[in-house]
Amino acid sequence: MKILFILNNYYGMGNGLSASARRTVQALRDAGQEVRVVAGPNGDPAGPKPDYELKWFRFPIFQPIIDAQGYNFASTDKKIIEEAMRWADVVHMEEPLVLEARACRIARRLGKPITGTYHLHPENVFCSLALGWSKVANYLLLNAWRDLVFNHCSHLQCPTENVHERLERHHFKSKLHVFSNGVVPDSCIRPEVPPEDYLDPERPFKVIYIGRLSVEKDQPTLIRAIRHSAFADRIQLQFAGLGPKTKKYMRMAMKLYEDDVVKYKPEFKFCTRDELRTLAAGADLCVHCATIEVEGLSIMEAMQQGAVPVIAQGRHTGTSQFALSDRSVFQEKNEKELAEKIDWWLSHPKERWEEGKRYSESMKKYNIDKSAEALIEMFKAAIANK
């Protein structure tokens, strides 16, 4: 099959959608499929380039906000898009934005079957504009995405049940398929037995948060929860990620240290993939507070390394479906409940170590190769029914 992926940012760093797309394309190629990509330029001039490269489109007034999110919008060059589509058997949309809306019109004119993956909620966009709370704005944007892009997709991947339920409520016409974007099958580098100092009452507890420092990821709920924790003086907070709220969240976390709530300075840094594996393998807990989350591959990869999660549960976050017990779930924004869950796990080290093994094992069913197989079947169905 000749599969064409269309998205704005294919080489974006610190962008979960871009990282997921790159891994999916590689998994499809490993499965013997021909895959090409239409996207904007690689920010690294010495790095690889998309098969069909579009120029960047710069928005007047709003571009600084877009830059702060680590995102860019590609232009909609009709000639380049049409050339790519004439090659393809099936066209796959990774986003519901302006580029994809125009690509849908061209694909329909050329008679090409269209599929898609639902990667982000309207709230992901509006949180950056301080409108994440607006039901009207989010409803209207989801309507536009549905009508301009997604309803032109005969088949649509929903990475979680939470997404599936939302799209059904919103009367999407596509045939909806529920399967994960998948994690790369890395081996768990956490040792089989706890380290010698695991039960040492003096050692610090490493509580990590992997994810962009942005409104929808809600790191402040974790920071506030530490003030309610019985183990606050032993907790070493580690945040792996960058984002528009980096400076604000660093100040909030450092206030814990300045107020003598914690005795270890919170750490903030952007990590490579190998560094994230090491960080997760050495963590006591991995907390995920996101209120807007389609899937949450970052915490899935941490669980793969044996990190026990504590995950927010809410209306527009699907990550909690990966929790193995109620002890790993708390109601979004509820800092006191989060503190209670953190304290339970930290006060039960043996149970925590064994649970880490269970989480590592549970991630095997989300192997990206299985996700690629499901996508291939979806593409075949789209071609057969075009």
Q: Is 283 helix (H, G, I), strand (E, B) or coil?
A: coil
Amino acid 386: pLDDT = 72
Q: Among candidates 236, 252, 250, which has minimal Cα distance to 287?
A: 236
Is there a domain that residue 194 lies in?
no
- pLDDT tens sequence across 128-143: 777 778 889 999 999 9
Same domain, 323 and 260: yes
Residue 3 parent element (H or E)? strand 2-6
Band of pLDDT at residue 58, cut at 50, 70 and 90: confident
* 343-381 residue pLDDT tens: 999 999 999 999 999 999 999 999 999 999 999 999 999
Q: Could you give the C-alpha distances from 383 to 92, 161, 248, 311, 372, in angstroms and in order? A: 12, 25, 48, 38, 16
Which DSSP string do the residues of 168-194 spell out, in sequence order? HHTT--SEEEE----B--PPP-S-SS-
Q: Does any domain span residue 198?
A: no
The answer to whether residue 334 is domain-embedded is yes
Mean pLDDT of the 242-261 span: 96
Is the domain of 127 the same as that of 250? Answer: no
pLDDT digit string, tens, across residues 196-223:
999 999 999 999 999 999 999 999 999 9
pLDDT at 64 over 80: no
- Whether residue 305 is predicted with pLDDT greater than 80 in this model: the reply is yes
DSSP string, 325-382: SGGGEEETT-HHHHHHHHHHHHT-HHHHHHHHHHHHHHGGGGBHHHHHHHHHHHHHHH
256-294 pLDDT per residue, tens:
999 999 999 999 999 998 999 999 999 999 999 999 999
Residue 309 belongs to domain spanning:
205-365
Distance from C-alpha of 71 to C-alpha of 4, rounded to nearest angstrom: 21
Q: Do 115 and 158 have their domain in common?
A: yes
* 342 and 380 share one domain: no
| 76 part of a folded domain | yes
Pair (174, 227) in one structural domain: no
Average pLDDT, the chain: 94
Over 80: is that where the pLDDT of 71 sits?
no
What angle, 0 to 180 degrees and rounded to 10, lies between the N-to-C axes of helices 16-30 and 368-384? 80
Q: Alpha-carbon distance 90 to 111, whole Å? A: 10
Give the residues across from 311 on adjacent strands.
288, 329
Q: Is residue 187 part of a domain?
A: no
Same domain, 93 and 239: no
User: At a CB cut-off of 8 Å and minimum separation 6, what does 286 contact?
Assistant: 207, 208, 209, 210, 280, 299, 302, 303, 307, 308, 309, 310
Confidence of residue 79 (pLDDT cuts 50, 70, 90): very high
Q: Which of 311, 362, 316 has its CA nearest to residue 118?
A: 316
Could you tell me the CATH number of the domain that includes residue 124?
A: 3.40.50.2000
Q: In the predicted model, is pLDDT for residue 18 greater than 80?
A: yes
Which whole number is the average pLDDT over 297-305? 97
* 199 inside domain: no
Q: Residue 190: inside a domain, yes or no?
A: no
Top mean-pLDDT range of 13-17, 212-216, 234-238: 234-238
Same domain, 100 and 213: no
76 closest CA partner among 176, 149, 166: 149
Based on the fold, state whether residues 23 and 134 are members of the same structural domain.
yes
* Residue 80, pLDDT above cutoff 70: yes
Q: How many domains does the chain have?
A: 2
For residues 161-167, average pLDDT = 97
Mean pLDDT of 304-326: 97
pLDDT reading at 66 higher than 70: no
Do residues 175 and 238 share a domain? Answer: no
> Is 97 found in the same domain as 79?
yes
Q: Can you give the pLDDT at residue 70?
A: 61
**DSSP code, position 132:** T
Residue 99 is predicted with a pLDDT of 96
- What is the reported pTM? 0.93
Identify the three-state secondary structure at position 285. Answer: strand
Q: Does residue 127 surpass a pLDDT of 90?
A: no
pLDDT at res. 15: 77
Task: Select, from the ranges 54-63, 69-78, 356-365, the one with the highest average predicted confidence (pLDDT).
Answer: 356-365
Q: Are residues 130 and 98 in the same domain?
A: yes
DSSP string of 40-69, one letter each residue: ---SSTTS---SEEPPEEPPTTTHHHHHHT
Query: What average pLDDT does the segment 171-199 reach?
Result: 95
Asked if residue 42 and residue 161 are part of one domain, the reply reads yes
Spatial separation of the C-alpha atoms in residues 250 and 231, rounded to whole Å:
21
Q: Is residue 334 predicted with pLDDT exceeding 70? A: yes
Q: Is residue 63 part of a domain?
A: yes
